[in-house]
Amino acid sequence: MNPIDRLSEMFEHFPGIGPRQARRFVQYLLSAPQSTRAQLADTVSKLGQETLQCKRCYRWFTKTEARQKENQMLCPICADERREHSLFVVEKDADLEQVERAGFRGVYFVLGGTIPLASEEPHKHVRLKALVARVEGDATDKKLQELILGLSATAEGDHTRQYLVETLESFAQKFNFKITSLGRGLSTGSELEYADPDTIQNALSSRH
């Protein structure tokens, strides 16, 4: 395959990109100066060497931000002693960034996805073993007061949450921490008239 088609095909694997936009990306790069292409290629190829996946929360971060702690290279959030002892489980890095932006002051664990409804091998879809180890470790160190399950408000998110609750509730009892889920209800800006019955029921259950 020629380099134009090959590059176009690579861009088609990018999230949310179809064949037409992939081609526009290639055109953009063709018209750009060689230095722009060189810089992009350089940054992409060095991405692996300059970033680390945190051994505690599994998010990706820049190596220069890494801090040595107990013989592990941790991300700035996991290394920060002032963080509260609530562990927020998210599906992916982008969710973590949103929660951080909302002002959460605890710590995180990036699950790496959700468990499909029919899956018989949940551990193939999410970091189950790593989560259990993290929970056990934090709990043993008395660093876990609450486990917040921040899954999507979808069927697959709910399924994953239930699976995690079942998997972790014995730990919760043994180590005396709470397992909670994000509140459901009216999202900011929404009106009752356009809310679905499920959301109204949730908003009623979580009224306060």
Q: CA 72, CA 55: separation in Å to the nearest integer?
A: 7
Instruction: For residue 169, give every residue at least 6 positions away whose Cβ sits within 8 Å of its Cβ, in sequence order, or none.
Output: 179
User: Which window, 14-22, 67-75, 121-129, 162-170, contacts a copy of itself (CB under 8 A)?
Assistant: 14-22
Query: Per rule CB under 8 A, is residue 39 in the interface with a copy of itself?
Result: yes
Query: Per rule CB under 8 A, is residue 76 in the interface with a copy of itself?
Result: no
- Binding a copy of itself (rule: CB under 8 A), the pick from 132, 165, 172, 186 is 186
Q: Do 91 and 112 contact (CB within 8 A), yes or no?
A: yes
The 81-120 contact track toward a copy of itself, x by CB under 8 A, reads ---------xxxxxx-xxx-xxxx----------------
Name the residue nearer to a copy of itself (CB basis): 24 or 142: 24
User: Which window, 39-47, 66-74, 125-133, 135-143, contacts a copy of itself (CB under 8 A)?
Assistant: 39-47
**Adjacent-strand bridge partners of 109:** 89
DSSP string covering 22-52, please? HHHHHHHHHHS-HHHHHHHHHHHHHHHHHEE
Tell which positions 151-180 bind a copy of itself, by CB under 8 A: 151-154, 157, 180
Q: Closest separation between CB of residue 52 and a copy of itself, Å?
A: 10
Query: Per rule CB under 8 A, is residue 42 in the interface with a copy of itself?
Result: yes
Instruction: For residue 150, give every residue at least 6 positions away whose Cβ sits within 8 Å of its Cβ, in sequence order, or none.
Output: 88, 89, 90, 91, 95, 99, 182
Query: Per rule CB under 8 A, is residue 14 in the interface with a copy of itself?
Result: yes
Name the residue nearer to a copy of itself (CB basis): 137 or 183: 183
Query: What residue has token string 């009892």?
Result: 173
Q: CA 161, CA 143: separation in Å to the nearest integer?
A: 22
Query: Per rule CB under 8 A, is residue 4 in the interface with a copy of itself?
Result: yes
Query: Per rule CB under 8 A, is residue 203 in the interface with a copy of itself?
Result: yes
Q: Closest separation between CB of residue 88 and a copy of itself, Å?
A: 9
Q: Closest separation between CB of residue 163 and a copy of itself, Å?
A: 18
Instruction: For residue 87, give every residue at least 6 positions away whose Cβ sits within 8 Å of its Cβ, in sequence order, or none.
Output: 106, 107, 108, 109, 134, 135, 138, 144, 146, 147, 148
Question: How far from 146 is each of 37, 169, 178, CA to CA, in Å?
Answer: 47, 12, 5
Query: Per rule CB under 8 A, is residue 185 in the interface with a copy of itself?
Result: yes
